[in-house]
Each structure stands twice: as C-alpha cells, then as structure tokens.
Amino acid sequence: MVCVICPQCVFRLRRFTGVALDPPSFEPGSWRGAGDLLIDPVNHEYWLTSRPRVAGPRGYGVEIWYSNNGDQYSLVSLIPKEEVSKWVGINVLSIENNQLVQDPLTGLYYLYMSLDIGDGWETFMAKADDPRGPWNPVGLVIRRDRDYDSAESRDCTINIIDGRYIALCKAVKRGDGPHAYTELLTSRDGVNWVKLGLPTINGQPQRPQPDAFLLNGDILPSTYGPMFIGTVTTFFKNAHITKYFGAYIIDLKTNNLEEVFTAEWKPGSMYEHPEYPIHTYCNIVKDPFTGDWRILIEAIDPRYTKEIGVNTEVDRVLQYKAKVPEAA
C-alpha cells in the first residue's frame, strides 16, 4: 500500500514537543545531532543515533540512544572515533552525519557514518544484529570517486523504498568549497552503490543558491514515487546552516528532483536561533504507534551560541510532532 503524504501538511501542523538530546556541554563548539531515527514496529523500540562534538576533538564518535516512547532517550552505546580509526586503518579526524537502517533481506542493522579522513570526507559503514551492538566494520562504501565529489561525499540521507536503497549525499568538488551540492545514489544491498550524478532540479542544472544546495531528511514512498522531505540548505555562514524546509519528488530514471514546496522554517521554541534555526540535519518519520509525524532537527541554540560557526555555536536535538488527518 502506497503511503499518502502531504508534506505541506506535516510542515504546517508541526508543533514543538521538547528537547530530545542536549549537547555534551554548553561551551561553544559543542553539538549533538546529525543522526537518524529508526522506529522498530515489531519490538516497539525507538533508536536514535547522534554525533557528539566538542570544539577541540570535533566529532568524537557515534552514539546509539534508545527509547520505548520516542520522547525520552537513554544512551546505550558509543562508538568512539579511535575505534572507527582502527576499523578504517586511517586516522579519523572527525565524525559527522550518520544513518541507521535495517536491511530488508538479512535483517541486519546498517550504520553509515561520515568521516574526515584527512584529505576529504567519505562515508563508512558498519553492521550489527542489534542496534545496541557490537558493531562490525564493513568499509568505506561511498567514496570520493567523481569530479563533483572529489573533496566530500558524505552527510547522506539513506532510506529503503520497495527494497531499493536510495541516498542523497553532500558532494563537494575539491577547490570549490564552500559550494556544496546534492548527489543521488542507489543500491541493491546498501553496500555497493551506483552514483547517478548531480540530479537536475525541476529540469535545470544544480547550482548553489547562493552557497549550496543540500538536502537532509528522509526519503519516503508516495503516489508519485520516492519523495524527499526535510531541510533545504543554501547558506554558508562559517558552517552550512538553514532556515528552509521542503519536499522533492525523486525521478530515478531521469535523475531529476521535482520541487513540491519550499517554505521558511520559523522557530517554534526558545532553543532555536531566530535567523538560522537549523544546522542542516533533520529527520521525518511517521510513528506507527501514535500516527504522529516526528520531526527531529539539529537546532542552533540562541542563548549559548556566540556566533554562527563550527567552533562558536551550540547545537542540540529538538523534536516536533505533526498529527495529519488522513484526508489531508
């Protein structure tokens, strides 16, 4: 049965419900976020990943958080940066966005993480029988092997639609920063990926608007095919940050993204910067138990942030919910 989605309704009806995760500290450069929410409909479990960061070491690991209600989370495991370095065989300088999915064929959990390996960013994968771990390394599965992603191929949105893996990842060409683009990939098994390139937007070549065109959120089934819903990042202010939310239909055959809508995200809480509330990262998941849409954002805190920037702002994870009537 195809999921009927009204992304504008989800956006319009969203209401702030609370802080999901606080930063490691409230010192400048301390963040939590850049993670993924996976709801297990069989075991009634909520799994939330996160990247903890402080100014010196930067992103120092991947956290796995558990909840039985989707509102209060407890930390169950941390994969430290040092362990990931041993897995990769390269000194990992920082960890950023991570994604958690359950493979439909094997039932294994796949964890993807963005790694700064010195001369650029690539995407690494680990697998486990249980989100609690232990996690076993698979390897670097999304590499910098195209001209358009020669500096960075990371910060992916990864979902599985009708058994097929689809990813939208951040792509940066060497020497072209801070300009950043979105690349489209597919996979049959979540390990071996095919890059379709930089998709056109409404039939036109991608271009920075003015600094970037980055999408981060979730890819969901719709009557028109795979639909991306999440943040649309176009600004670079010492970091890629945003105040826009939107949706796009993904056409895999023509490698095109057709815009459904884009709107300004206006802060709904005291925990969001009034001008640039979101530091790119976002999740949109429908809760099978409550029927609510859960929206998680990495929000830039206005009180503790000195100024927008990687070592001067403070980020935490906030949760919004939207209850959308079936007829909407």
pTM score of the predicted model: 0.97
Residue 55 lies in a domain: yes
pLDDT of residue 204: 98
Residue 327 lies in a domain: no
The structure tokens listed for 193 are: 């990926």
Rounded CA separation 109/77 (Å): 15
Residue 209 — pLDDT band, cuts 50, 70, 90? confident
| pLDDT at 2 exceeding the cut of 80 | no
- Nearest Cα residue to 265 out of 290, 225, 298, 236: 298
Rounded CA separation 126/86 (Å): 13
| pLDDT at 202 exceeding the cut of 50 | yes
The enclosing domain of 205 has a CATH number of 2.115.10.20
| pLDDT at 1 exceeding the cut of 50 | no
Taking only the tens place, the pLDDT of each residue in 246-256 is: 999 999 999 99
pLDDT of residue 14: 99
Residue 124 lies in a domain: yes
Please, what is the average pLDDT of the chain? 97
| pLDDT at 328 exceeding the cut of 80 | no
Residue 46 lies in a domain: yes
Taking only the tens place, the pLDDT of each residue in 24-79 is: 999 999 999 999 999 999 999 999 999 999 999 999 999 999 999 999 999 999 99
Q: Output the DSSP codes for 68-109.
A: SSSSS-EEEEEEEHHHHHHHHTS---EEEEEEEEE-TTT--E
Residue 2 lies in a domain: no
Count of domains in the chain? 1
Starting at the earlier edge strand, list the strands of the sheet with 200-201: 200-201, 256-264, 244-251, 227-233, 214-220
Span 195-201, mean pLDDT? 99
Taking only the tens place, the pLDDT of each residue in 287-327 is: 999 999 999 999 999 999 999 999 999 999 999 999 998 76
Residue 102 lies in a domain: yes
Share of the chain above pLDDT 70, in %: 98
Residue 1 lies in a domain: no
The structure tokens listed for 138 are: 């698979």
Taking only the tens place, the pLDDT of each residue in 240-294 is: 999 999 999 999 999 999 999 999 999 999 999 999 999 999 999 999 999 999 9
Give the residue numbers spanning the domain of 149: 7-322
Residue 258 lies in a domain: yes
Question: What's the 3-state SS for 1-62?
Answer: CCCCCCHHHHHHCCEEEEEEECCCCCCCCCECCCCCEEEECCCCEEEEEECCEECCCEECEE
Q: What is the maximum span of the chain, computed from C-alpha positions, in angstroms?
A: 52
